[in-house]
Structure 1
Amino acid sequence: MSGGLSTTARLALLARLSKRRTSDEAAPRPDAGSARDFSTLPGMRDYGLLKTALASLEMRSPLFQQHDGLAGAHSLIGNRDVVNFASYNYLGLNGDPRVQAAAKAAIDRYGVSVSGARITAGERDLHLELEAELAALHGAEAALTFVSGHATNVTTIGHLMGPRDVVVHDAAIHNSCTEGIRLSGARRVPFAHNDMRAAEKELAAARRGAQRALLLLEGHYSMDGDAPDLARAIEIARRHDAWLMVDEAHGVGVLGATGKGVAEAQNVDPSGVDLWMGTLSKTLSACGGYIAARRDVIDWLRHTAPGSVYSVGLAPPLAASALASLRIMQAEPGRVTQLQANGRRLVALLRERGFDTGGSIGAAIVPVIIGSSIRTARLANAMLDRGVALQTVLFPAVPEQSARLRFFVSSDHTEADLLHAADMLADASANLGAVESLPGFG
């Protein structure tokens, strides 16, 4: 199939979409018009349109790519070696023999599961060791781990805030944060991405009449690869009597000379942040999340947060893997240095070839903003054909004109890997030609 959509082809696609949609709507459903009709779910129609567009263009979905074996700087997809920019293995620790040995030893001692909530029967010394070292990483008094990074934000924000409160947050914040706000019932006020002037304006206005306020940021933004002005955020939160929470899911192991995150990178006292959130699934090669804060706050969460009290404790091999990864990260800062060098190099290579990497600072996350979801999906498939795996972010996850490819950089990527990726993207883009926006959403 040709790379672009001519006017004739675009009209034909619109006709096929219209015909298929009409046919789908005309087809009788046993629950049509009732409360059991799933087609009324939010976003179901838009998702269906994207699926229909991909099918009409005879395109395979770039999503749910199956990796075989360890997903490091290289991976196997369909029994073929590819350069892998689709995984979070930032410091290459997922396959480190020391990490694997720690996980195996934990299984030998504790089994695969702790078989209970920590508050009742699931507490293990591994949890306490890991939490003590995570707290120290952020200069906090204590920390609490959860079995999911997403659930960490949902349960913490949902439990911390209430209907009389307000949360002012960056518009590019993680979905887990917005879900936590929704659960809390607090008023949600977004501000323009990484605009601290807008943040203060919104917080000042929203603070009046609210019982409590929370200013919510990411340390290294997962969608754009940039970072906030942390010192300014602390100042704004203090001036308006608000808590400051920083989601460092992608910052730990990535920012700062030794990987401690945005506070270290910007030489800011981390104690100015009231709540540090992080995950165990990126740099720390496990699964789960944590909150680091004052001891009284953590003790309260430990005994009352639904995501802790009513959930099984972190699995022993995961806790052991995260702890081993954290210790290796701190003992071998050269991994962090190499990751940062790789990120800067990839941004430079992509920009030299004319690609829009947005505000990426050249660390672990490098977006390439394409615009059209159709073109983004086609480029992702073309890149996989050329031996490069990366992530796609398509409508409706983002507005149709901001669809993008995302490179997740590892310290294990070589200069040859980076050069190959940049050259292949230039080649794929040149050979794809022009592609229209998703019909009806341009």
Structure 2
Amino acid sequence: MSRKGLHGLTAQLKDALILQALERRLQHVEQKGATHDTTQSDALVIPEKFYRFQLHPGYQQLRIMNDGGARLGVSNPFFKLHEGIAGATTLINGKEYLNYASYNYLGLSGHPAVAAAAKQAIDQYGTSVSASRPVSGERPIHRQLEKALAETYQVDDAVAFVSGHATNVSTIGYLFGPKDLVLHDELIHNSILQGIQLSGAKRLSFPHNDHAALEQILKNQRHAFERVLVVLEGIYSMDGDYPDLPAFVEIKNRYRAFLMVDEAHSFGVMGETGLGIREHFGLQGSDVDIWMGTLSKALAGCGGYIAGETALVEHLKFLAPGFLYSVGMPPSVAASSLAALKLMQQAPELTATLKTRGRLFLKLAQEAGINTGSSSGLAIVPAITGSSLTAARLAETLFEQGINVQPIIYPAVPEKSARLRFFISCLHTEEQIRQTVAILAKEI
């Protein structure tokens, strides 16, 4: 039996009449548009660049760079296929190269004990936890890793995220807002900048490693904001230098600000036993409010972590979108990073060897007149060329001679400071480093 609508019409008949009216209206608009230039039809004219990916400004810039390089005879140096474990050497297209393009600082990616831990975790827990951790993705190996990290930093707790970049974005983006101020070193990592943008906080940078400049900003600005966050890196990934952390701690205490240190490249590298910039300067874990690090460098895994007081960690675990709504870290990754952390603590000679090799590379490069910028020789040594084209050509020349190193070009760095960036590993031998610097000095 049909239900009655308005004016005694059935609902089905009413719907049919409305549909017919809409179809007639559409036909009328189409006919009118075909014969008249109307304001309505003009409004529907959208430039192609707003709905074609190939016309997106970023892609256009990429094409210009690639086409320009091709015309100058420089091949694309990126996305080389590594066919095995990338340590001091790597296999590309069936040929072995000296490798300075990976973060495997302590040689623990590929270590038998680390691989065994990952395999055991897969056998026990599978390849994925298949849910966010608050829902049903929590596994004992997650808590074991986080507890070990917290103990390493001498703080209450830690939380592990599935991405290092997302760790910074989610943490800063969630904890701070429009009434807050974030101050950062001018050379800070992109993930920090993305997190600040997400937060809506006001952003100000200060000159690289200049704590006096930071203090001046705080003198002028602190009173105008609720929360203030200062963000530094332990070792800066483009330059290989580090901040005077105790000076920054003293300033943040005086101005009642939070201090965050990104230890992506300093953990496993700095300190007598590799425990990072905190150990290097002999600081307490509580001296820094937010310790951040990645698992993909010295710890042979993938992802990031935040370590600090209970209130910080619990807050992020229950409410930060990048953790709450993300699948939990694969058990094999957590297990491999935990195994790497234990190996690092049991074998401080790995960090000691890394420091020796890095300082040798820096010394030889400086003696050869190579511009290494402000590098301290702790795992990262740039060879600054001053032009992106020169950097790309030099990387290609070295590759032809069996050395794999990546160019860092504009816009990742300013055009005048384009460079090759050498990542040193404890697996590199003294002979390999001497050979590399000799070839670099000749070709640069």
**Same-fold call, TM cutoff 0.5:** yes
- Where structure 2 has 5 or more consecutive residues not aligned to the other structure, the ranges are 1-44
Question: Contact 2:211–2:248 at 8 Å: present in 1 too?
Answer: yes
1:202 deviates by 2.1
- Which residue number in structure 2 is paired with residue 274 of structure 1? 289
SS in 1 for 2:300: coil
- Which residue number in structure 2 is paired with residue 119 of structure 1? 134
Counterpart CA distance in 2 for 1:145 and 1:362 is 29
SS in 2 for 1:145: strand
Q: 1:325 aligns with which of 318, 333, 340?
A: 340
Question: Contact 1:31–1:37 at 8 Å: present in 2 too?
Answer: no
State how 1:170-209 maps to structure 2 within 5 Å: 170-209=185-224
* Structure (1 or 2) with the larger CA radius of gyration: 2
Counterpart CA distance in 2 for 1:207 and 1:53 is 47
- Which residue number in structure 2 is paired with residue 155 of structure 1? 170
1:35 deviates by 2.3
Does residue 395 of structure 1 match 2:410? yes
Counterpart CA distance in 1 for 2:157 and 2:387 is 45
- Residue type of the partner of 2:215? E
Counterpart CA distance in 1 for 2:370 and 2:286 is 38
Deviation readout 1:84-131 (Å, 9 max, x if unpaired): 110000000011100000000000000000010000000000000000
- Which residue number in structure 2 is paired with residue 374 of structure 1? 389
Does residue 361 of structure 1 match 2:379? no
- Which residue number in structure 1 is paired with residue 6 of structure 2? none
Counterpart CA distance in 2 for 1:250 and 1:212 is 27
State how 1:102-251 maps to structure 2 within 5 Å: 102-251=117-266
Counterpart CA distance in 1 for 2:227 and 2:66 is 43
Which segment is superposed worse, 303-312 or 260-269?
260-269
Question: Contact 1:46–1:396 at 8 Å: present in 2 too?
Answer: no
Give aligned pairs, total.
Answer: 400
State how 1:425-436 maps to structure 2 within 5 Å: 425-429=440-444
1:62 deviates by 1.2
- Where structure 1 has 5 or more consecutive residues not aligned to the other structure, the ranges are 1-29, 430-442
Counterpart CA distance in 2 for 1:236 and 1:420 is 44
Counterpart CA distance in 2 for 1:296 and 1:379 is 49
Runs in 1 of length 4+ with deviation above 6 angstroms? none
1:162 deviates by 0.3
Question: Contact 2:229–2:257 at 8 Å: present in 1 too?
Answer: yes
Q: 2:114 aligns with which of 92, 99, 102?
A: 99
Question: Contact 1:47–1:396 at 8 Å: present in 2 too?
Answer: no
- Residue type of the partner of 2:111? D
Counterpart CA distance in 2 for 1:53 and 1:239 is 51
Counterpart CA distance in 2 for 1:356 and 1:35 is 43
Does residue 423 of structure 1 match 2:438? yes
Question: Contact 2:49–2:55 at 8 Å: present in 1 too?
Answer: no
- Which residue number in structure 2 is paired with residue 84 of structure 1? 99
State how 1:232-311 maps to structure 2 within 5 Å: 232-311=247-326
Question: Contact 1:148–1:289 at 8 Å: present in 2 too?
Answer: yes
Normalised by the length of structure 2, the TM-score is: 0.88
- Residue type of the partner of 2:410? F
1:79 deviates by 1.0
